[in-house]
Amino acid sequence: MAEPLLEVAGLYKTYGSVPALRDVSFTLAEGGSLGIVGESGSGKTTTARIVLGLERADTGRVTVRGRDRSPRRRGRAERLRGAREVQIVFQDPLLSLDPRISPGAVLRETLRLHFPGTDHTRRIAQLLDQVGLGEREATGLPRQLSGGQRQRVAIARALAVEPSILILDEAVAALDVCVQAQILNLLADLREQTGTAYLFITHDLGVVSQAADHLIVMRHGQIVERGRTEQVLTEPRHPYTRLLLDSVPRPGWRPESIARARRDLPGPAG
């Protein structure tokens, strides 16, 4: 088998007395797409932050194309190379956007950093168009944009870097269904054209079923189920995955019975 693009092996992370990750391992192939679902606090963002290098695991390894993704990068070239390996779009992009800089200027800055010496005007227009932002949004300030528009600025900025791996941490949650479909289609196209691989962290089982070939289900910092997305969603084996599926609102759905079933699930193992 070919070497995976991303390999995450045996991650453990504890915050004080809180075990946030317990033996998390998975791989992502070149051009692959892996969904991560699981309840709030199950360790999804922690996993993403460790893959990115924002945080260090207590034990375990993250490698990209067989090279350690150490959180300590020396020098500018090394940092830029690291940024082109993995980009992330977080749930709340207001925190990651400079409030004084317009989306157009953010994209220009990013492109200048990664691809110096060329004119980026057309690429900026293309990126804005791809995420469905117009001239007005491109020249405004982040606080003048809606949450969904800011989200799209963050997605455009990540795409501008042309990363090997793009992590979307609830990054399409705030988008209305039409824009969400546009972004998901864009990501699917880019995956085909460029081989970009995705890690899709989401609560939305509809989104993962559309966007991810493989799926892992996390609970209490552990992976409780994994497999091809369709298989996991149609033939869940773990009671928690079944509960997740039963929790999707639909006609006749009763929140009280879901809450009861959730209480009856076994707690974290040893």
Ligand X SMILES: Nc1ncnc2c1ncn2[C@@H]1O[C@H](COP(=O)(O)OP(=O)(O)OP(=O)(O)O)[C@@H](O)[C@H]1O
**Interface contacts to ligand X, rule CB under 6 A:** 15, 18, 20, 38, 40-46
197 to 236, contacts with Mg ion by CB under 5 A?
A: none
Closest CB 153 distance from ligand X, rounded Å: 21
Closest CB 204 distance from ligand X, rounded Å: 12
Closest CB 169 distance from Mg ion, rounded Å: 6
Question: Is residue 45 involved in binding Mg ion (CB under 5 A)?
Answer: yes
How far, CA to CA in Å, does 240 sit from each of 42, 198, 199, 220? 12, 24, 21, 11
- Pick the closer one to Mg ion by CB: 30 or 204: 204
148: partner contacted, choices ligand X, Mg ion, none (Cβ within 5-8 A by kind): none
Q: Which residue is nearest to Mg ion (CB)?
A: 45
**Which tokens go with 46?**
């922690």
Closest CB 108 distance from ligand X, rounded Å: 31
Kind of pairing between the strands at 86-89 and 165-169:
parallel
- Pick the closer one to ligand X by CB: 186 or 258: 258
CA–chain centroid gap for 133, Å, is: 21
- b/e map of 51-66 (b: 16 or more CB within 10 Å)? bbbebebeebebbbee
Helix or strand (DSSP H, E) at 119: none
- Pick the closer one to ligand X by CB: 18 or 269: 18
20: partner contacted, choices Mg ion, ligand X, none (Cβ within 5-8 A by kind): ligand X
- The residues that bridge with 36 in the sheet, in sequence order, are 201, 216
163: how many CB neighbours lie within 10 A of its CB? 20
The number of C-alpha atoms within 13 Å of 23 and in the hemisphere containing its C-beta is 4
41: partner contacted, choices ligand X, Mg ion, none (Cβ within 5-8 A by kind): ligand X
Closest CB 45 distance from Mg ion, rounded Å: 3
Binding residues for Mg ion, rule: CB under 5 A, are 45
